[in-house]
Chains A and B, each alone.
Chain A
Amino acid sequence: MNREEPTNTTALHDWHVAHGAKMAPFAGYDMPINYSTGAVEEHLITRRSVGLFDIDHMGQFEITGQGADDFVARMITAKVSDLVPPMARYSLLLDEAGGIIDDLFVYRLPTSWWIVVNASNRATDLAWFKAHAPSNVEVVDRSDDTYMIAVQGPRAIELIDRVADSPVSNIQRFCWGNIAIDGIPVLFGRTGYTGEDGGELFFPAEKALQLWEFLLRQGESLGIETKPIGLAARDSLRFEAGMPLHGHEISIEINPIEAGFKWACDFDKEFVGKEALLAIIEKGVSRKLVGIEVFGGVPREGYEVASPEGTVVGRCVAGMFCPTVKKYAANAFVEPEFAKVGTHVAVLIRGQSREAVVVKRPLYVPAYRR
């Protein structure tokens, strides 16, 4: 992972720059952090209408072969035996010690498995899959020829319904369908990372600019507010909705039990890391991931969490102002006795102790769960 010197750009890079984006390195890519709209407003637009996200930095692998079903089942934590087209599911990728290598989405395609991974872990994940693949399984990195755009917000499905050759409103949540938009073949997954309804679009990389501009133009002409959204708002949207970001709420140093992702692990099957997780469950965890609301400052990654008496009991892994719920909040790993909702704690913000309380996650219940 190289966050300091981006060597990669997406096909929309010049478009972002020309449209006033503030660019910064993320996972080796020079990405838009926010446009002139501003990160807070971009967050709110996604919650009220439609946000477009250039997420081409995400990686896609295709797994095929005689042994693919068994291989995927063993490599990732989620139940996959009941996944049939057009279903997709969230999962974790663990090492033998139960550390989280990455989180991913797995799509069951008619003749293959389609795995979507984080940009920062793409090389690691690919090497991990390939190192474990038996001879009757093929793992192919499809990231370079596949473009990925997310269309998210309460009017996202309406927008796509009106511009695609067939409706996406009849595709269920966490399922996918094949559509065409402006003549471009698109695999539409009804998934996302914002807590809003919408989808993630996979299509040929050379069509990126055409599809991006088409969606913005159609949004405008149909009277559906549709704006490009940068990574800063993507982070606050996912944070409010309780979704993890690898390197923060989950990492190779963090196991799914302490991070609250036991639900994403199917203990009725064998998977890499299962033995380690069973041992962790038996022993009990030494820390737990919690949400914390802070009064009087903005909590950020790395800030310490203390008991009201001043003893350090944990550390923030992410924190920010949450534009929809209008709260200053953090996600933190704390000692289990401080993990109960309503527990009073303090967060040390730039040397000063600020009052804080453990709150229920997520702060914003995803629209499709209400």
Chain B
Amino acid sequence: MAIDKNARYLESHEYAKPSGEYMVFGISDHAQAELGDVVFVELPAVGKTLAKGAIFGTIESVKAASDLYAPLSGTVVEVNEAVKNDPSLVNKDCYGDGWLIKVAPSDPAEFQSLLDSAAYGKAIGEE
């Protein structure tokens, strides 16, 4: 499974990845493979404030629904409309076109508290 080295992770498989002054949230390759085909995503509105660890949305695959947890605190500045219309983007390109939301982080230091790619790889039993 691919692990994006520029991202950091929660054990629940969401990632945060720096994008200029913002952070992009998504789910890892391991998570999308485990979920199977993603058929629905529900994401927060732009402007919504998220606390680290809070549920920010739902992702549903053919087999089950899962909550999405915010890796970092911040305010939603952009939502991936393309993935709402075509949830399979999460399966096809979870670190690229299948990103979920973009957030202005309220405490950039939180990023350091997440699992780096090596630690996340270990957590999912790889490397």
Interface residues of A (CB under 8 A from B): 22, 33-34, 38-41, 232, 236, 296-298, 300, 320-321, 328, 350
Contacts and interface: CB of A to CB of B under 8 A. Distances in A.
Contacts of A350: 58, 65
B91 interface: yes
B88 A40 contact: yes
A147 to B, nearest CB: 27
B14 interface: no
* Number of chain B interface residues as a range: 10 to 19
Given A298-B60, A320-B62, A350-B58, A40 B37 contact: yes
B42 A232 contact: no
16 contacts: A22-B36, A38-B37, A38-B91, A39-B37, A40-B37, A40-B62, A41-B37, A236-B62, A297-B42, A297-B60, A298-B39, A298-B40, A320-B62, A321-B39, A321-B62, A350-B58
B63 interface: yes
Contacts of B36: 22, 33-34, 38-39, 232
Interface string B63-77: 101000000000000
B40 A297 contact: yes
Nearest to A38: B37
Given A38-B91, A297-B42, 8 more contacts: A33-B36, A33-B63, A38-B37, A40-B62, A41-B37, A232-B62, A298-B39, A321-B40
A220 B91 CA distance: 26
A355 to B, nearest CB: 14
B34 to A, nearest CB: 9
A298 B62 CA distance: 9
A232 B88 contact: no
A298 B36 CA distance: 15
Contacts of B62: 34, 39-40, 232, 236, 320-321
Interface in B42-66: 42, 58, 60, 62-63, 65
Contacts of A297: 40, 42, 58, 60
A350 B39 CA distance: 16
A34 B39 CA distance: 15
A328 B40 CA distance: 9
